[in-house]
Amino acid sequence: MSALRIQQPSGDAGLGDWQHVHNVIIPTHPLSLDEVRERAERNHLEVAYSDDVLVGCSTVRPPADDTRTATVIARVLAAHRRQGFGTELYARGVDRARKLGAQTIETVVLSCNEDGLRFAEKHGFVEIERYLLPGDTIPWVDLRLR
């Protein structure tokens, strides 16, 4: 069994790895490296490697003061799914969100990502909203942890 290493992205190489996973899994909204740098300033980002192979990334959007709701997103590249990597990324994200004061945990999944939707539902999330962003043709799905 390979060793999973999860860490905050360091420098452009680490941010580039986070960007790669995001852009593969969310092809409708590719991010530039500058956009990833900006996200890293307001969110907690992590990248995951199995040995030295990039397998996934995560995002924790800190809780909003008025709602105490944080968003936790775990993404795993298709070739590395069903090996427990997403579960570990997700658990770390929820732990981080709780330490930041979150009382409610939500996630968001692109509706065409059937693996992502199944993962969220398997981990206790229920759909609360579907919506299109301006110019989009594929809906986003917001889910809340029961």
Q: 59-100 pLDDT, tens per residue?
A: 999 998 788 999 999 999 999 999 999 999 999 999 999 999
The amino acid present at 132, given as its one-letter code, is: L
Q: 13-61 pLDDT, tens per residue?
A: 999 999 999 999 999 889 999 999 999 999 999 999 999 999 999 999 9
CA 70, CA 102: separation in Å to the nearest integer?
A: 6
Tell me which CATH homologous superfamily contains domain 4-145: Gcn5-related N-acetyltransferase (GNAT) (3.40.630.30)
Q: How far is CA 8 from CA 50, 87, 115, 127, in A?
A: 15, 17, 24, 29
The amino acid present at 21, given as its one-letter code, is: V
pTM exceeds 0.75, yes or no: yes
**H/E element holding 141?**
strand 140-145
